[in-house]
């Protein structure tokens, strides 16, 4: 099978094309192409499809995979997608069961098989987009995109803005945790109106996670039981709590033992609508998106991914 590996050299704070090329050389029939900019990963993937490649592999982090997979979904949904995780968090890779060591991920690309996973379709009524955001947003206009791993709203929605290339390169997966500590000044509840499969509630939330995969924020198991191909969105809402209770909740969250906490509500759904006060930013697959209201729905079995 002809395989094209698209490298985002900026992933993880900067990756060595020479080192990645050695890894790619272990995959039979593989060719590597280097994207001159992160936002050109998608067009390069479509060029590779036009050139006859049957399997397109994203060499990068969650943002790289998200952009590449979304491009394939929109134009070539039958082409297989693979992941060579060299990013900061690599949460989608972990959710897929892809090893985070590039050599082991390459071994999976040699031996694994492609099976379809779900996608999260998102449309935002953006009030504003962050300066320098990788994703395109227009004030007052609905912008559609797809997430493959998770959407995080509220606290954590702008954590990626605090991640410099140097921090990513030095701290790797721990960079998200370090950025979260720096973001603690923004830890305040927001009034949110949730519409979950037609059931409407209003409540104050610190964080909202709409997940396809298990992990987000650099390996934190926000939804330990999530499956990327089960036909459901996993919705985790975290409500305000006294500081003493939060001090207990945080280590439980990091260990994936938070789902029974009284401040946490877990629901499975196929559609989710969110209306929130300003300051409730959304992060999509590790990239800051918009501050505003949005709707999310499931696209089942959207794209085949190589996994165990």
Does the active-site annotation cover 54?
A: no
Q: Of the ranges 66-75, 143-152, 155-164, 277-286, which one carries the lowest mean pLDDT score?
A: 155-164
pLDDT top residue among 56 and 283: 56
Distances in Å between the Cα of 264 and the Cα atoms of 13, 71, 168, 258, 289 are: 33, 34, 29, 7, 24
- Going from N- to C-terminal start, the domains of the chain cover 3-118, 119-301
Sign of CA dihedral 116, 86, 37, 297: positive
Q: For residues 91 and 95, what is the distance between their CA atoms, to the nearest angstrom?
A: 6
Cα 164 versus chain centre, distance? 18
**Main-chain phi, psi angles of 139, to 5 degrees:** -60, 130
Burial (Cβ within 10 Å: 0-12, 13-18, ≥19) of residue 48: buried
157 close to 283: Cβ distance less than 8 angstroms: yes
Q: What is the DSSP letter of 239?
A: -
Per CATH, 3-118 and 119-301 having the same topology is answered no
Model pLDDT for residues 167-195, shown as the tens digit of each residue: 444 545 554 555 444 455 566 788 999 99
User: Parallel, antiparallel, or unpaired for β 80-85 and 281-284?
Assistant: unpaired
Q: What is the domain class of 3-118 according to CATH? A: alpha beta
In 3-state terms, what secondary structure has residue 295?
A: strand
Structure-token pair, residue 26: 């272990």
Of all residues in the chain, the percent with pLDDT exceeding 70 is: 82
Model pLDDT for residues 76-122, shown as the tens digit of each residue: 888 999 999 998 789 999 999 999 998 999 999 999 899 999 999 99
141 pLDDT tier (thresholds 50, 70, 90): very low
Model pLDDT for residues 205-241, shown as the tens digit of each residue: 999 999 999 998 888 899 999 999 999 999 999 999 8
Query: Which DSSP string do the residues of 240-270 spell out, in sequence order?
Result: ---HHHHHHHHHHHHTT--TTSTTEEEEEES
Q: Identify the residue whose tokens are 């094209």.
A: 4
In this predicted structure, the answer to whether residue 60 has a pLDDT above a threshold of 50 is yes
Q: Of the ranges 13-27, 67-81, 136-150, 236-250, which one carries the lowest mean pLDDT score?
A: 136-150
240 close to 204: Cβ distance less than 8 angstroms: yes
Among the listed residues 136, 141, 204, 287, the single catalytic one is 287
**The CATH number fitting domain 119-301, selected from 3.40.50.1360, 3.50.50.60, 2.60.200.40, 2.40.30.20:** 2.60.200.40
């Amino acid at each position: 099978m002809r395989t094209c590996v698209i490298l985002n050299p900026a992933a993880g704070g900067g990756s060595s094309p020479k080192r990645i090329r050695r890894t790619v050389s272990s995959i039979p029939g593989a060719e590597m192409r280097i994207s001159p900019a992160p936002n050109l990963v998608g067009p390069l993937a479509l060029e590779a499809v036009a050139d006859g490649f049957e399997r397109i592999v994203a060499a990068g982090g969650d943002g790289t995979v998200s952009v590449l997979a979304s491009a394939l979904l929109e134009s070539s949904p039958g082409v297989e997608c693979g992941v060579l995780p060299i990013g900061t968090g690599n949460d989608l890779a972990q959710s897929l069961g892809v090893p985070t060591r590039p050599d082991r991920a390459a071994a999976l690309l040699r031996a694994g098989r492609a099976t379809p996973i779900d996608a999260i379709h998102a449309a935002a009524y953006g009030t504003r987009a962050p300066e320098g955001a990788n994703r395109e947003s227009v004030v007052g206009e609905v912008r559609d995109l797809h997430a493959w791993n998770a959407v995080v709203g509220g606290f954590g929605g702008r954590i990626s803005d605090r991640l410099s290339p140097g921090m990513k390169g030095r701290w790797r997966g721990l960079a998200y945790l370090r950025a979260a500590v720096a973001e603690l000044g923004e830890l305040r509840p927001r009034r949110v109106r949730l519409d979950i499969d037609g059931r409407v509630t209003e409540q104050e939330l610190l964080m909202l996670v709409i997940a396809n995969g298990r992990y987000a924020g650099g390996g934190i198991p926000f939804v330990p039981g999530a499956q990327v191909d089960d036909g459901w969105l996993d919705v985790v809402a975290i409500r305000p709590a006294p500081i003493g209770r939060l001090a207990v909740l945080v280590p439980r969250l990091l260990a994936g033992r938070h789902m029974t906490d009284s401040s946490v509500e877990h629901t499975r759904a196929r559609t989710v609508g969110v209306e929130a006060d300003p300051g409730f930013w959304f992060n999509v697959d590790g990239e800051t998106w918009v501050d505003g209201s949005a709707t999310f729905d499931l696209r089942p079995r959207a794209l085949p991914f190589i996994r165990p």
